[in-house]
Amino acid sequence: MTATPAQSGATANAPLEKIALESYVPPAKPSLVGLSRSELADLLGEIGVVSAQRKMRVQQLWHWTYVRGAPQFADMTSISREMRKQLEQHFTVARPEVAAEQISSDGTRKWLLRLPSGDKLERAHEVECVYIPETDRGTLCVSSQVGCTLNCSFCHTGTQRLVRNLTAGEIVGQIMVARDRLNDWADRDTPNGGRLITNVVMMGMGEPLYNFEAVRDALLIVSDNEGIGISRRRITLSTSGVVPNIVRTGEEIGVMLAVSLHAVRDELRDELVPLNRKYPIAELLQACRDYPGCSNARRITFEYVMLKGVNDSLEDAKLLVKLLKGIPAKINLIPFNPWPGTRYECSDWEQIEKFSEYIFNAGYSSPVRTPRGRDILAACGQLKSESEKLSVRERQALRAMAMTD
């Protein structure tokens, strides 16, 4: 389905980036979740902990918070009672609140997480976080913004306003909530005896590279081997192409990179991913070639949503292979997840297979991502928080589309 002239014009006139409506207001008693060791040490100094004890106290807090998942200071039994009382007076180790949980027929779980604000006049905001269990891994899809900076025309999340960026603590907190709900901390027994959350993908609500510092600080905590301990090779950051921050991601975070490409011609990508008008395909791919550590062992993933009659021709597949020449890459083909009001349709399965076969024969891994959690609006491109609620009719329509695919 191709866009009408009126639709294309509307896309062309849409702003490339949204402006955040609000900024974060910390609560009177802040959470220590998301702070670096040096930041923790500074705060301990502010409440009177002598310098000779700070390193030990930081290590204790770090272990109890990120290895054992203690939800309150009272549980941190290796810390003196007096110290615990002092911490309780000034801080918390609170995570976001679970406002709702949904479990898909395929085992996918989606949590709607409420983020308290220090502004009493402001209602709490919400984001979504999704857990996808598979036979060999468990992937947690994490959000970086309330809403999204961008206006990608095929993405349901992109239809939201940008309310604000998440803090490092709110990003790390999503992983901690998921571990709480799955009983997945190091000192607890899981159903299969191993960790349930093995992989993290920054592919939830928002554009991570428009919230670079908070995402960086959060992922450094997530990958810390004395804490949450998820390997950087098991963390993937997905971007729509914020070119200036791509190399920074490799240098300062060192995680795997995924790029939401979705088109092989600038004129079409300008419509699907309007950010392309600022950072066109050639500039984006050069940033990928320059990505630190990129190799056959650390390939860049290119995400490509399959839109019927829009970007799914054999000519598109041929040009995709040509464009990616010389970049260690794999290509994830994503069947489009429909949502009420969209003008796009998912490509026919036969066409997806032809597209995949051509790419595979050209030497690229080209898995077709199996849609997960469509019945609970948890599939790729469907996340939309309760900050902008769907109507009952929209939800019924989307579930009907999911069930008939």
- Is residue 401 very low, low, confident or very high in pLDDT (cuts 50, 70, 90)? very low
Nearest-5° angle of CA 43, CA 49, CA 53?
Answer: 110
* Identity at 125, one-letter amino acid code: H
pLDDT of residue 375: 61
Tokens found for residue 336: 């489009």
The Cα–Cα gap between 206 and 11 comes to 19
Question: In angstroms, what CA-CA distances link 204 with 141, 158, 238, 332, 379?
Answer: 6, 11, 9, 16, 10
Average pLDDT of the segment spanning 143-167: 89
Provide mean pLDDT across the span 34-47: 97
What pLDDT is attached to residue 395? 44
Section 96-111 average pLDDT: 93
Choose between 15 and 174: higher pLDDT.
Answer: 174
Instruction: Answer whether residue 155 shows pLDDT above 90.
Output: no
What pLDDT, on a 0 to 100 scale, did the predictor assign at position 374? 59
Does the pLDDT at position 12 exceed 80?
A: no
Which of 18-27, 103-112, 183-192, 328-337 shows the lowest mean pLDDT across its residues?
A: 183-192
- Helices 349-361 & 314-323, crossing angle to 10 degrees? 30
Q: Are 154 and 336 in contact (CB under 8 A)?
A: yes
Over pLDDT 90: what percentage of the chain? 71
At residue 249, the pLDDT reads 97
As annotated, the active-site residues are: 128, 380
Closest CA to 154 of 303, 300, 329: 303
Is 387 a residue whose pLDDT tops 50? no
Cα–Cα distance for residue pair 13/16, rounded to 1 Å: 9
Euclidean distance between CA atoms 263 and 304, whole angstroms: 7
